[in-house]
């Protein structure tokens, strides 16, 4: 079964906003937000071991170091990106969920 939606939880201390396919998404700290799978891949490089493209797009890959008067890698950017937690969403008919819950309830004596 293809995954269509992903729940994203921002474990950072700041609200993050990003866009995908003309839609803007807001990720407040600690709030679970459901987004399309493709959006998670684009915004956070979800399931991609190489996060370089996402870090560059977000502006989190480098920072200016005035001592060397140049841009250097920013390890804080990797930490920010790592603080987004993903959980795959499962969509199923309401009736199947009700049946499943009813099967789990202990019989009344």
Q: For residue 11, is it within any domain?
A: yes
Q: Is residue 109 part of a domain?
A: no
Q: Residue 95: inside a domain, yes or no?
A: yes
How many domains are contained in the chain?
Answer: 1
Handedness of CA 58, 61, 65, 69 (dihedral sign): negative
Range of the domain at 99: 5-104
User: Is residue 97 one of the residues assigned to a domain?
Assistant: yes
Instruction: Please check whether residue 69 lies inside any domain of the structure.
Output: yes
Rounded Cα distance between 101 and 38, Å, is 31
Please give the model's pTM, rounded to 2 decimal places.
0.77
pLDDT reported for residue 90: 76
CA distance linking residue 88 with residue 109, whole number of Å: 38
53-108 pLDDT per residue, tens: 999 999 999 999 999 999 999 999 999 999 999 999 877 776 766 677 777 766 55
């Amino acid at each position: 079964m293809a995954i269509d939606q992903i729940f994203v939880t921002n474990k950072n201390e700041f609200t993050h906003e990003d866009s995908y396919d003309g839609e803007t998404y807001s990720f407040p700290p600690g709030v679970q937000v459901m987004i399309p799978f493709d959006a998670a891949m684009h915004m956070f490089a979800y399931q991609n071991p190489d996060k370089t493209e996402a870090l560059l797009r977000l502006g989190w890959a480098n920072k200016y170091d005035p001592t060397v008067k140049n841009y250097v890698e920013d390890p804080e950017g990797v930490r920010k990106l790592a603080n987004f937690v993903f959980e795959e969403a499962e969509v199923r008919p309401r009736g199947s969920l009700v049946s499943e819950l009813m099967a789990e309830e202990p019989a009344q004596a």
